[in-house]
Amino acid sequence: MSTSDSTASYGDIVRRLAGAQKVTLPGSPPYSIYVNRKAGRLIAAWAYRAGLTPNAVTAISAALTFAGILCIALIPPAAWSGLLVWLLLALGYAFDSADGQVARLRGGGSPAGEWLDHVVDAAKLSSLHIAVAIAMFRWFALPPGWLLLPLLYAIVSAVTFFGMILNDLLRDARGGRKRDVGTRSLAHTILILPTDYGILCLVFLLLGWPLLFTIAYGLFFIANLGALAFALPRWFSQMKQLGKEVR
């Protein structure tokens, strides 16, 4: 696909994107693959026909996402504000999926575009949990020690994201084999649901009920901490093996 396809119909572009999706690895986060990628496809087709660049789509994604994050920190928690936060975060995530698809429609992405996408992702993952800490401090009737929950969650999210990016970067730089995740059971797919950013966004629908939100958010933190504790030794072992492969 290239910019010469700009006169194609919306439906034709959606169908082309559906046939040119990245390979879905076993064990990939279900929401991100089966909901967000499809939503991003629809947005990408619109953005392409509107003449938007991938970086412009990334900017829209960032604006929506950080608007949602600001709502968490600045608006007193209520049912309607939780719905607003979820909508902004979910739309931001869909646009995040769309930017890469727009790049493919235009003939391929650029290092600058990929860099921008990753920087925005890194900023949102940390900022989201810091906003939760601010909301808990301002409006939740919780002991001060509970503020450690979102702060620790921010660390877990940052380390997980950086570890995944660094794994791929080192494999590409050293010419190592691509990830081989093998097959994954239904039980594994269910277990990794809390590590899916799109599923985390749904938790903010509970923002109007602080106790329920804190319980759900805390369970997600525990699940993500456990997933990271499991992944780190495995990633380190893979990097050691990579060192042997490229000698």
Domain hosting residue 190, numbered range: 3-245
4 pLDDT above the threshold of 90: no
Mean per-residue pLDDT, 35-59: 92
**Mean pLDDT, residues 230-246 taken together:** 86
Contacts of 70 (CB under 8 A, 6+ apart): 131
Mean pLDDT of 230-239: 92
User: In this structure, are residues 168 and 22 in contact, taking their beta carbons and an 8 Å threshold?
Assistant: no
Count of domains observed in the chain: 1
Residue 196 region by backbone torsions, left for phi larger than 0, else alpha for psi between -120 and 50, else beta: beta
CB 81 within 8 A of CB 139: no
As a dihedral over the C-alpha atoms of residue 99, residue 80, residue 122, residue 168, rounded to 10 degrees, the angle is: -60
- 8: phi then psi, degrees, rounded to nearest 5: -65, 155
Find all residues with CB under 8 Å of 239, minimum gap 6, and list them: 167, 170
Residue whose structure tokens are 């391929």: 108
Residue 247 pLDDT more than 90?
A: no
Q: How far apart are CA 189 and CA 186, in angstroms?
A: 5
Average pLDDT, the chain: 87
Task: Determine the pLDDT at residue 115.
Answer: 92
The least confident of 81-90, 107-116, 237-246 is 237-246
| Predicted confidence (pLDDT) per residue in 9-22, tens digit | 887 787 777 766 66
In angstroms, the CA 199 to CA 154 distance is 16
What's the pLDDT tens digit per position in 159-184? 999 999 999 888 887 776 555 544 55
User: By mean pLDDT, which of 31-35, 119-123, 155-159, 183-187 is the weakest?
Assistant: 183-187
Task: Return the CATH number at 38.
Answer: 1.20.120.1760
- The phi-psi region of residue 175 (left if phi > 0; otherwise alpha if psi is between -120 and 50; otherwise beta) is left
